[in-house]
Amino acid sequence: MGHKFIFPHVPKSAGRAFGEGLANAVDGEVFHLNNAQFLKNTPPRFVFERCDLIWGHFSYHTLPRLSSDYKRVAMIRDPVDRAVDNYDYFMNMENPMRSSRIMMSENWALDDFISSDNNRTVFHLYPTMFTFGVDGFVKQQDPEKLVKRAIDTLSKFHFVGFVECFDESVKRLGVGEYRKTHMTPDEHKSKITDEQRERFRNVLEPEYEIYNTIRKANGY
């Protein structure tokens, strides 16, 4: 039997490089979806289960219960670095969504992005993607419960890799060949001051609790 994977792709976390490596490693179909597609038209379970890789921007708990043959895998990243990449992405989108259009039209600086209350689902992607989804995050009033649920979910994954040690991570998985051509070079990223990093860390405190706990549990 070949490999079968479920890969919730956290934005700006080397997901394209990782996902394409997985896609090249499986024998069967690849189902690439995002939350918007999924919520508008939920495919039946058999559509998922004929695929060897289910990959995309979706919240893990929105998937139907699937066969235990699937290995749950994730790639996560230092939350501040991920958020800065999100800022750069939003400010340079070719087909911007509403929040990006506002940022671009008002020429937001990084400080504006850090201070905005409209970006909490962007900032808090680990609770969003590994607990109850976007709606669940917005309605959920207990941050500790969200953090605990995300840690519990990720602790049960077959594999969690880390962008900061991408090569070592995929070597541990031992499946697929990976190209990092889609990862943004450092020289193209916005520069961040120590003060901005500290402000971001305060906003992203729940993310760091999840990230640091899972990284330590995986021996990095």
Instruction: Report d(CA 182, CA 180) in Å as an integer.
Output: 5
**How many domains does one find in the chain?**
1
For residue 107, the model assigns a pLDDT of 94
pLDDT recorded at residue 134: 47
Among 204, 190, 167, residue whose Cα is nearest residue 21 = 167
The confidence score (pLDDT) of residue 160 equals 96
DSSP one-letter code for 59: -
Position with higher pLDDT, 203 vs 185: 203
Question: pLDDT of 51-86, one tens digit each?
Answer: 899 998 887 777 777 778 899 999 999 999 999 998
Assess whether pLDDT exceeds 70 at residue 200.
yes
* Strands ordered across the beta sheet of 71-76: 29-34, 51-57, 5-8, 71-76, 159-162
Q: Which among 6, 8, 4 has a CA at the least distance from the CA of 131?
A: 8
CA 166, 168, 174, 180 torsion: positive or negative? positive
Domain region containing 207: 5-217
pLDDT score recorded for residue 46? 75
The percent of residues in the chain predicted with pLDDT above 70, rounded, is: 82
Give residue-wise pLDDT tens across range 80-107: 999 999 899 889 988 888 878 889 999 9
Q: What's 32's domain CATH number?
A: 3.40.50.300
Task: Give the pLDDT confidence score for residue 141 in this predicted structure.
Answer: 58
| pLDDT digits 0-9 by tens, 5-17 | 999 999 899 999 9
Q: Residue 217, SS3?
A: helix
For residue 165, pLDDT beyond 70:
yes
Check residue 181 and give its pLDDT: 61
